[in-house]
Amino acid sequence: MNSTSSTCTAFAGTRQIASGYLRDVVYKIRMLDIKYDLAPVLIFDDATSKVVEMDLRGTPQYLLNRIAEIESASPRESEPVLPAGGSRGPGRPKLGVVAREVTLLPRHWNWLASQPGGASVALRKLVEEARRANQSKDRLRLAQEAAYRFMSAMAGNEPGFEEATRALFAGDQEGFAQLAEAWPTDVGNHAKNLAARAFEGQVSESRPQSTPRYTLDELLAECDCSRPMPQEDRERSDAPRFGRELL
């Protein structure tokens, strides 16, 4: 499943038949399949709308093993995977890091090498800063992708699919809801629930960001008077004065 979600929703054809934790959903599907001849079943992860790959005809033991594999497939960020035996390479942080190849231009490597702590520390700082700066945008993008992924799988042949897709990415919640009404009831309702997260994120993105305000004392407290003046500022300070301007 490869997601951060612990819940999912199952559809038999266009009818929603179960929702909740994966173990409960699989159990309910098996019970229903015994009583009824179910249409092909798809299980969607609630966070990403990715299809949970599982052979529902397997033995109970197979299903339990498969569920355990899926639930452990995406370890939480606070629990990084360490090498066998728990050993770590020298100098690595206590929580462990994952080594992967990064391709950069020479000027990028030169800049990283000049940063305090070297390339690895600088890259980690840049990634953390980018994550904080783009947090709301990432949430919006992931919500849109989840809604679109489900729509493509379950409503791709339904009337108004293309128009609903445009409404989803344009932030037109009312138009999206009207178009989804023409779809099978359970499919339309689930699509609207998924899309609601995206529309909420778009509203948050459109809100004006307040400009931070600082007092003179706060600004001066951040100044390091022991540092040498940058060359550009030094040239401007030493340049001849004209009129009554302030530098």
Higher pLDDT, 86 or 54: 54
Residues 6+ apart with CB under 8 A from 158: 182, 183, 184, 187
Higher pLDDT, 130 or 47: 47
pLDDT-derived band at 10, boundaries 50, 70, 90: very high
**pLDDT, tens digit, for every residue of 166-213?**
999 999 999 999 999 999 999 999 999 999 999 987 765 555 556 677
Instruction: Please tell me whether the overall predicted TM-score, pTM, comes out greater than 0.85 for this model.
Output: no
How high does pLDDT run on average in the chain? 81
Evaluate if residue 21 carries a pLDDT over 90.
yes
Amino acid 246: pLDDT: 54
Amino acid 78: pLDDT: 41
How many residues does this entry show for the chain? 247
Higher pLDDT, 141 or 93: 141
Percentage of the residues of the chain whose pLDDT score is greater than 70: 79
Amino acid 182: pLDDT: 95
Percentage of the residues of the chain whose pLDDT score is greater than 90: 36
Q: Is 16 helix (H, G, I), strand (E, B) or coil?
A: strand
Amino acid 11: pLDDT: 96
pLDDT-derived band at 47, boundaries 50, 70, 90: very high
pLDDT-derived band at 1, boundaries 50, 70, 90: low
Higher pLDDT, 221 or 68: 68
**pLDDT, tens digit, for every residue of 133-154?**
777 888 899 999 999 999 999 9
Higher pLDDT, 96 or 109: 109
Amino acid 243: pLDDT: 57
**pLDDT, tens digit, for every residue of 227-238?**
777 777 776 677
Amino acid 211: pLDDT: 65
Single out the residue of 211, 193, 70, 72 nearest to residue 143, CA to CA. Answer: 193
